[in-house]
Amino acid sequence: MRRLQEAYAEGLIAHEVLDERLHRALSALTQSELASALSSLPEGHPDSTATIAAAGGRIKRRGAWRVPRVLKVGSAYGRVRLDLSRAVIEHPVVDIELQLGTGGARITVPRDATVDVEGLSTGWKDLRYRVPRRSRPGGPTIRISGVMGYGRLKIRHSLR
């Protein structure tokens, strides 16, 4: 909604277009429907990068949070929980860079997402990820890279 409102305020789209696209964005049920409502808009921050770091404790993101193009997650001790199932994903490819010492991580991705874990190095425990039997096209690609120390990374697709 913010990207559409900013485009209107900058004079990039007309009022009628704003109304129609806001309606499409708010009634979107899939990532591809949301992306169609935002199509032809200029990129807000093409190289947007965010870092979430904690020495100890938990890192948790869930609900309707905005996922940047590159998300760097660092934790020396503690657990990491990233739930992207209801998150706003505006980019076709999202890179998640993990730098974790001890403690596990769990990432829930959208049902129609494609997951790439080729750039991930696990030290102590193996990765737990099952590719879904049936996948729907049009979802974002989530690339997970970085280093896992003594924890386990569990990746699952959301049920809805």
This prediction's pTM: 0.70
Q: Pick the more confident residue, 90 or 8.
A: 90
Examine the pLDDT at 46 and tell me if it is beyond 50: no
Using alpha carbons only, how large is the chain's radius of gyration in Å?
A: 17
Examine the pLDDT at 99 and tell me if it is beyond 60: yes
Are the C-beta atoms of 116 and 143 separated by less than 8 Å?
Answer: yes
Confidence of residue 95 (pLDDT cuts 50, 70, 90): very high
Which residues are 83's β-sheet partners?
Answer: 108
